[in-house]
Amino acid sequence: MSERDAFSTALALIGGADPALWGIVGLSLAVSLAAVALASLVGLPLGAALAVFRFPGRGALVTLFNGMMGLPPVVVGLAVYLLLSRAGPLGGLGLLFTPAAMVIAQTILIVPIVAALARQTVEDAWREYEEQMRSLGATPRRSVATLIWDTRFSLATAVLAGLGRASAEVGAVMIVGGNIDGLTRVMTTAIALETSKGDLPLALGLGIVLIALIVLINAAASAMKAVAQARFG
Amino acid sequence: MHRRRFVGIAAITALALAAPAAAQEKSIVVASTTSTEQSGLFKHILPPFERKTGIKVRVVAQGTGQALDMGKRGDADVVFVHDRDAELKFVAEGYGVDRREVMYNDFVVVGPSADPAKVRGSKDVIDALKKIAAAQAPFVSRGDRSGTHAAELRFWKAAGIDLAAGRGGWYRETGSGMGPTLNTAAAMNAYALADRGTWLSFKNRQSLVVAVEGDGKLFNQYGVMLVNPEKHRHVKKELGMAFVDWIASPEGQAAIASYKIGGEQLFFPNHRK
């Protein structure tokens, strides 16, 4: 197998507009974007609060979140599997082997990333504006909201880092999704499957499509950021 | 206001994604093995079943040991695997019901064409394994409690080989599926035991060829059964049984027989009432 095989396979995949491939791409995007949205809802305020509030154990919590940025996907997948399994505490929901289970696992994976990076960004801004905000009589709660809004362009990087992690991981979605054809098969699990079948050009071709997709999303985010920054400063 | 809009978008995205999972059509989850999925058998036999019954079959492909565990936990409606001893135990312990033997294929020992252990062409798998161990030729094992792994361990035992000594040396456990194990064997010029279905559909053979085949011991029986609805009340008994019965029916058996790669039949139906 040569690299040209993989590239021509990738081009054929994109050009051929195989509906099965687009289903897989669409599900990958939907799952990872939903996880990023949920993780941002939790992680951004959490990170900002960690930056602003002072309480005992804060240092330990910051270290914990920094450490959990490296959560092994396969462990998160296993934990969510046991949770959602019919024999597990949340088995009654019947969520195992559904896209919803994949969103849950990826959300858990990326909350620490979004929170830890947001904490750093907001803390830097807080250091700069703390006196000013206090003199204006802003409560810490109010400051958290204001700081998130003021640092939104920098926070976009935290969100994109989360998205990168979500769309690239295979360990968690493989376990909780089951890689079911037409239901829970995403780009990374499809790549793992084709590698298993020994169809390396197809696996690498899918990989090239995935990487192109991630680069495209990041380019779109940068462009949006540039436009928004120009308009709103 | 902007913040609120962001929260709104996030919530809608999450909901939109959860919705298709909630609106479920008639479907069952089948815990099966990598050999049936990766060989392409399911892609061939499921469409006629789904057309006839309207039941969508969701296949989760793992090793037989894992697939049976999934059944035990109640995470599947049907189990379709190949390890007779383990299946009978599964049924005896009350986890499975209505087991049917539905098809077979066979295992093959594959190895590098250079054949360092001089076993190529042999029809005696036990003798071949003895020679591989004596030559300390690299052998890659699944090491994952799959049906193929269980069969391999039985053969080593019959050959009287103590694997502990070779582990990490010439005997290498990948702890992964059939495909990854064949990829590893191809890269290491090693021998491996494979089911013929996966072998025939495997594309990255490099110098690997079939070294040993045709021994009666290499017979590989597949069984399908319903997860016991009395153990797990949510098991879709009727839909699951429709699948089990169809696989054993003349129609299902014919579908299995008609699956070929390059003119070669991969699985042989053998259900007897």
B234 Cβ under 8 Å from any chain A Cβ:
yes
Contact assessment for residue A159 and residue A144, using Cβ atoms and an 8 Å cutoff: no
Q: Which of B209, B226, B259 is nearest to B105 (CA)?
A: B259
Measure in Å the smallest separation between the Cα of B58 and chain A Cα atoms: 6
Q: Output Rg (C-alpha) for chain B, integer angstroms.
A: 21
For residues B95 and B150, membership in a common domain is answered with no
Q: Which of A175, A163, A48 is nearest to A109 (CA)?
A: A163
CA-CA distances (angstroms) from residue A119 to A46, A50, A125, A126, B212?
8, 6, 10, 10, 61
pLDDT for position A137: 87
By DSSP bridging, strand B208-212 and strand B56-62 are unpaired
Instruction: For B142, list phi and psi in degrees, rounded to 5.
Output: -60, -50
For residues B214 and B110, membership in a common domain is answered with yes
Most B CBs within 10 Å: which of A32, A196, A204, as the mutation test of the B interface? A196
- Segment 43-72 of chain A within 8 Å of chain B by CB: none
Helix (H), strand (E) at residue B24 = none
Q: Which residues of chain A have pLDDT under 50?
A: 1
Q: Output Rg (C-alpha) for chain A, integer angstroms.
A: 20
CA-CA distances (angstroms) from residue B37 to A97, B20, B200, B210, B263?
16, 24, 13, 21, 19
pLDDT for position B22: 45
Rounded-to-integer distance, Cα B256 and Cα B262, Å: 15
Question: Which ipTM was obtained for this model?
Answer: 0.81
What residues in B contact A6, CB-CB < 8 Å? none
Helix (H), strand (E) at residue A90 = none
A34 Cβ under 8 Å from any chain B Cβ:
yes
For residues B91 and B61, membership in a common domain is answered with yes
B261: its two tokens: 């790669």
Dihedral sign (CA A134, A137, A143, A146): negative
Most B CBs within 10 Å: which of A114, A180, A189, A195, as the mutation test of the B interface? A180
Helix (H, G, I), strand (E, B) or coil at B234: coil
Contact assessment for residue B205 and residue B109, using Cβ atoms and an 8 Å cutoff: no
A-B interface: how many C-beta pairs under 8 angstroms? 99
Q: Which of B114, B117, B158, B161 is nearest to B138 (CA)?
A: B117
- How many C-beta neighbours within 10 Å does residue B189 have? 16
B143 Cβ under 8 Å from any chain A Cβ:
no
- Find the helix packing angle between B237-248 and B41-53, rounded to 10°: 120
How many distinct structural domains can be found in chain B? 2
Considering CB atoms only, which of A37, A179, A183 is closest to B14?
A: A37
For residues B147 and B78, membership in a common domain is answered with no
Considering CB atoms only, which of B34, B74, B205 is closest to A87?
A: B74
B203 Cβ under 8 Å from any chain A Cβ:
yes
Q: With an 8 Å Cβ cutoff, are B17 and A99 in contact?
A: yes
Rounded-to-integer distance, Cα B56 and Cα B200, Å: 27
Considering CB atoms only, which of A1, A34, A95 is closest to B13?
A: A34
Q: What is the pLDDT tens value at each position of chain B, 273 positions in all?
A: 455 555 555 555 555 555 554 445 799 999 999 889 888 999 999 999 999 999 999 999 998 999 999 999 999 999 999 999 999 999 999 999 999 999 999 999 999 999 999 999 999 999 999 999 999 999 999 999 899 999 999 999 999 999 988 888 999 999 988 999 999 999 999 999 999 999 998 989 999 999 999 999 999 999 999 999 999 999 999 999 999 999 999 999 999 999 999 898 999 999 987
Measure in Å the smallest separation between the Cα of A146 and chain B Cα atoms: 10
- Find the helix packing angle between B2-22 and A99-135, rounded to 10°: 170
Contact assessment for residue B28 and residue B243, using Cβ atoms and an 8 Å cutoff: yes
A221: its two tokens: 């985010």
pLDDT for position B5: 57
> What are the DSSP calls for A26-79, one per residue?
HHHHHHHHHHHHHHHHHHHHHHHHHHH---TTHHHHHHHHHHHTT--HHHHHHH
Q: With an 8 Å Cβ cutoff, are B61 and A179 in contact?
A: yes
Q: Which of A44, A33, A50, A223 is nearest to A150 (CA)?
A: A44
Burial class for A16, CB neighbours closer than 10 Å (0-12, 13-18, 19+):
exposed
CATH at residue B61: 3.40.190.10
Q: Which of B114, B95, B105 is nearest to B190 (CA)?
A: B114
- Choose one of B218, B244, B259: the last residue of a domain: B218
Q: With an 8 Å Cβ cutoff, are A95 and B21 in contact?
A: yes
Range list of H helices, chain B: 2-22, 34-38, 41-53, 64-73, 84-92, 125-135, 147-159, 163-166, 178-188, 196-201, 237-248, 250-257
For residues B52 and B154, membership in a common domain is answered with no
Rounded-to-integer distance, Cα A103 and Cα A14, Å: 26
For residues B77 and B36, membership in a common domain is answered with yes
Helix (H, G, I), strand (E, B) or coil at B211: strand
A133: its two tokens: 């905000």
Contact assessment for residue A229 and residue B71, using Cβ atoms and an 8 Å cutoff: no
What residues in A contact B203, CB-CB < 8 Å? 197-200
Instruction: Delimit the domains of chain A by residue range.
Output: 18-187
A18-187 belongs to which CATH class? mainly alpha
pLDDT for position B92: 97
Contact assessment for residue A119 and residue A47, using Cβ atoms and an 8 Å cutoff: yes
Find the domain containing B240 and state its range: 2-105+221-269
